[in-house]
Amino acid sequence: MPPSSPAARTVKADYVIVGGGTAGSVIASRLTEDPDVSVVVIEGGPTDIDRDDVLTLRRWLGLLGGDLDYGYTTTEQPRGNSHILHSRAKVLGGCSSHNTLISFKPLPSDWDEWEAAGATGWGAAKMDPYFGKLRNNIVRVAKKDQNAIATDWVEAVKTALDVPEVVGFNDQPFDEGVGFFDLSYHPENNKRSSASVAYLHPHIEAGDRPHLTLLLETWVHKLELDGTRATGVRATTKDGEELFVEAGREVLLCAGAVDTPRLLMLSGIGPKKDLEALGIDCVLDLPGVGENLIDHPESVIVWETNGPLPGNSAMDSDAGLFIKRDANHKGPDLMFHFYQIPFTDNPERLGYERPEHGVSMTPNIPKSRARGRLYLTSADPEVKPALDFKYFEDDEDYDGKTLVDGIKLARKVAEAEPFKKWLKREVFPGPEVTDDAEISELVRKAAHTVYHPAGTCKMGAKDDELAVVDPQLKIRGLSHIRIADASVFPTMPAVNPMLGVLMVGEKCAELLQEAPAQGGDA
């Protein structure tokens, strides 16, 4: 199909990848291993090369809310926090250039849950080999970065909660455990081993992939279709030039759980009633687009310490804890990150003061039962979509009760040595807050996200009306187009999902390499 505007310049490639983030970087690198395959990657942000603010892992907090952050917000959350900034990265490497690079291989129970939800071929046995293909430098927090208070916290958790220490969370599956995380980083200089660093930088620097084109600071605003076949995308460069980027084989949507469904709906693919209400012609009624919005909600407990903390750290949240409260639950059902900083953004909004020196534990819900929705409020591509996570609106208040349990367990840890000797007082919620209902209200109001939105174009079986892609990642009802990012997650892994997204990218690349002649026909 020709470009919609006669003034648009045409760029052609075999594959057009929308989004140079976590999965997009993997797919671009893998496809261009074949010198006869051409790939164009369209990324809304700039390069991360020579950006020390991006490449230095410990500077991650400074990226939140900055010029490399799309800064999505949430709709009113009656039972949660309506003031959360949902940071999404606007830079090559995507959120792997923006986050803490905590690196967990999804647990076998996570993958098997996907398969049970209709993602045939995505069970643990089939997915485990993709972990071994990852190019990232995945290592445990280095000894030099294991500071004294985090080390003492690990010891106190073992004593207070009777959980084992885990040395190498990716070595074998676990239900419970405490220890220093595995990170995708280079300990010798604290530099990231993000998707872009691991998969793209070597080829950019060597200049050995002339058939790989990166269009940076370029925004895709519409898919082009010829009937049900995806032929390319319309995009605008930072200079305002209109492009038609034509895909000879397939279009691959890797823009993430917010911008992939957003692009589909702007292109007339999604819930017909909603699109037509905004004046968008519906070319494919696909009701699941934007539904099943999932996340890892968490809250916080903050302590003031007796004085300054040790200065050595990988990224100030170097250790964590997993608990299994329900013996019948598959995998852990409560998690904590241990922050060697007072994480008080939301408590401050509630009137609490940030201590000069402090630490935090963040009770986190590995398998939240909330299911939200992402939707457009305007046909204007410049208008951000609405994100309604429906935090803590599950019928049985499972999520709210999980946070209350978390605060109680954290307080036990605070009473155990050798961690106790570091602490001066509990700042938030405060030692006087002991009633379950009061704890629940406060920690829900102070809740935040770990920046793990997913599920908005979920993968599923043919009889699942809300499934957007099939187990080959092809969009239902269209051809020559697939999705590979966190939006395809049917359910949320219990662990931080970055490696899961990388593995989705590896599997997508393999699917494309195995069947190039099929051109993605549905």
- Three-state secondary structure along 290-353? CEEEECCEECCEEEEECCCCCCCCCCCCCEEEEECCCCCCCCCCEEEEEECCCCCHHHHHCCCC
Q: Which two tokens stand for residue 110?
A: 């996570």
Cα–Cα distance, 159 to 146 (Å, whole number):
19
Q: Return the number of other C-beta atoms located less than 10 Å from residue 491's C-beta.
A: 18
The C-alpha torsion from 459 through 463 and 465 to 468, rounded to 10°, is 30
Tell me the per-residue pLDDT of 39-80, one tens digit each, with 9 for 90 and over: 999 999 999 999 999 999 999 999 999 999 999 999 999 999
Tell me the per-residue pLDDT of 178-197, one tens digit each, with 9 for 90 and over: 999 999 999 999 999 999 99
Tell me the per-residue pLDDT of 121-156, one tens digit each, with 9 for 90 and over: 999 999 999 999 999 999 999 999 999 999 999 999
Task: Mark whether 296 is an active-site residue.
Answer: no
pLDDT band, residue 518 (cuts 50/70/90): very low
pLDDT band, residue 1 (cuts 50/70/90): very low
CATH number, residue 40? 3.50.50.60
Can you give the pLDDT at residue 2?
40
* Residues 510/503, Cβ–Cβ less than 8 Å: no
| Beta-bridge mates of residue 12 | 246
Cα–Cα distance, 169 to 496 (Å, whole number):
12
Mean pLDDT in residue range 367-383: 98
Residue 160 lies in a domain: no
Task: Residue count of the chain, please give it.
Answer: 522
| Beta-bridge mates of residue 481 | 251
Cα–Cα distance, 396 to 243 (Å, whole number):
50
Can you give the pLDDT at residue 314?
98
Q: In angstroms, how far is the first alpha carbon of the chain from the final one?
A: 19
Tell me the per-residue pLDDT of 432-460, one tens digit each, with 9 for 90 and over: 999 999 999 999 999 999 999 999 999 99
Can you give the pLDDT at residue 37?
97
Tell me the percentage of the chain whose pLDDT exceeds 70: 98
Residue 405 lies in a domain: no
The pLDDT mean for the chain works out to 96
Q: For residue 298, what is the DSSP state?
A: E
Cα–Cα distance, 63 to 396 (Å, whole number):
36
Tell me the per-residue pLDDT of 147-179, one tens digit each, with 9 for 90 and over: 999 999 999 999 999 999 999 999 999 999 999
Place of tokens 């199909």: 1
Residue 319 lies in a domain: no
Residue 380 lies in a domain: no
Is residue 273 scored above 70 in pLDDT? yes
Residue 265 lies in a domain: yes
Distances (CA, A) of 340 to 149, 154, 304, 361, 482: 8, 12, 11, 9, 41
Residue 409 Cα to chain centre, angstroms: 27
Tell me the percentage of the chain whose pLDDT exceeds 90: 97
Is residue 89 scored above 60 in pLDDT? yes
Tell me the per-residue pLDDT of 455-514, one tens digit each, with 9 for 90 and over: 999 999 999 999 999 999 999 999 999 999 999 999 999 999 999 999 999 999 999 999
Is residue 519 scored above 50 in pLDDT? no
Residue 266 lies in a domain: yes
Residue 404 lies in a domain: no
Whether the CA torsion 353, 355, 361, 364 is positive or negative: it is positive
Residue 60 lies in a domain: no
Q: Which two tokens stand for residue 206?
A: 């060597």
* Number of domains the chain contains: 1
Q: Return the number of other C-beta atoms located less than 10 Å from residue 514's C-beta.
A: 9
Can you give the pLDDT at residue 5?
52
User: Is 413 annotated among the ligand-binding residues?
Assistant: no
Q: Which structural domain, as residue segments, surrounds residue 38?
A: 1-55+85-137+194-290+452-515
Mean pLDDT in residue range 319-331: 97
pLDDT band, residue 515 (cuts 50/70/90): confident
Can you give the pLDDT at residue 516?
56
Helix (H) or strand (E) holding 229: strand 229-237
User: Is 91 annotated among the ligand-binding residues?
Assistant: yes
Tell me the per-residue pLDDT of 332-370, one tens digit each, with 9 for 90 and over: 999 999 999 999 999 999 999 999 999 999 999 999 999
User: Which residue out of 86, 337, 452, 480 is catalytically annotated?
Assistant: 452
Cα–Cα distance, 23 to 94 (Å, whole number):
9
